């Protein structure tokens, strides 16, 4: 009777140790710590209409982000400012497969442009591996457990 119980505790111990290693603090590479700017790009906001069908509203916006060495990020997307976002290393498949090296999370913003019907939304920025002073970023709408791609930006390091 004690063998299944022993196995259960071993599995719990193993899972706990694994989770502790996965929570290791990520250090932002020094080449990412900077102010980054993009040109305007088309942004698509998706909403559901009264019939439950998706409606897409498009306009353009630029993206500015400041990445700090303490993993904090602040910035501006169109007319929406954000602070206290966090950059993390992509924990999924490697960037050589996904094209995503880092994710900026915990971004809560207001309207991106005048025609934006969403007063409040959650987004993430999915960052490609750095190429010189250029960073390719995918903007994702993440409210309600969604991962809708809204836009793509090419950011240049501001010197």
Answering whether pTM is above 0.75, one says yes
Task: Give pLDDT tens digits for 23-66.
Answer: 446 799 999 999 999 999 999 999 999 999 999 999 999 999 99
Give residue 3's pLDDT band: very low, low, confident or very high (50, 70, 90): low
Q: Is 134 helix (H, G, I), strand (E, B) or coil?
A: strand
Question: What does the pLDDT look like over 101-140, one tens digit per residue?
Answer: 999 999 999 999 999 999 999 999 999 999 999 999 999 9
- How many Å apart are CA 92 and CA 100, to the nearest integer? 9
Burial status of residue 73 (CB atoms within 10 A of its CB: 0-12, 13-18, 19 or more): buried
Assign residue 99 a region (left: φ > 0; alpha: ψ between -120 and 50; beta: otherwise): left
How far apart are alpha carbons 107 and 123 in whole angstroms? Answer: 5
Q: Which domains, ranges and CATH numbers included, belong to the chain?
A: 27-158 (2.40.128)
């Amino acid at each position: 009777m004690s063998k299944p119980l022993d196995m259960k505790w071993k599995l719990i111990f193993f899972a706990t140790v694994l989770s502790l290693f996965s929570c290791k603090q990520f250090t932002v590479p020094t080449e990412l710590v900077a102010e980054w700017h993009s040109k305007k790009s088309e942004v698509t906001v998706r909403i559901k209409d009264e019939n439950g069908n998706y409606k897409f509203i498009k306009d353009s916006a630029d993206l500015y982000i400041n990445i700090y060495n303490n993993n904090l990020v602040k910035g501006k997307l169109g007319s929406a400012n954000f602070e206290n976002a966090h950059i993390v290393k992509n924990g999924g498949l490697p960037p050589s497969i996904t094209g995503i090296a880092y994710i900026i999370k915990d971004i809560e913003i207001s309207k991106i442009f005048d025609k934006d019907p969403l007063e409040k939304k959650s987004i993430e920025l999915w960052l490609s591996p750095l190429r010189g002073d250029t960073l390719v970023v995918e903007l994702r709408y993440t409210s309600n457990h969604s991962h809708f791609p809204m836009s793509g930006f090419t950011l240049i390091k501001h010197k």
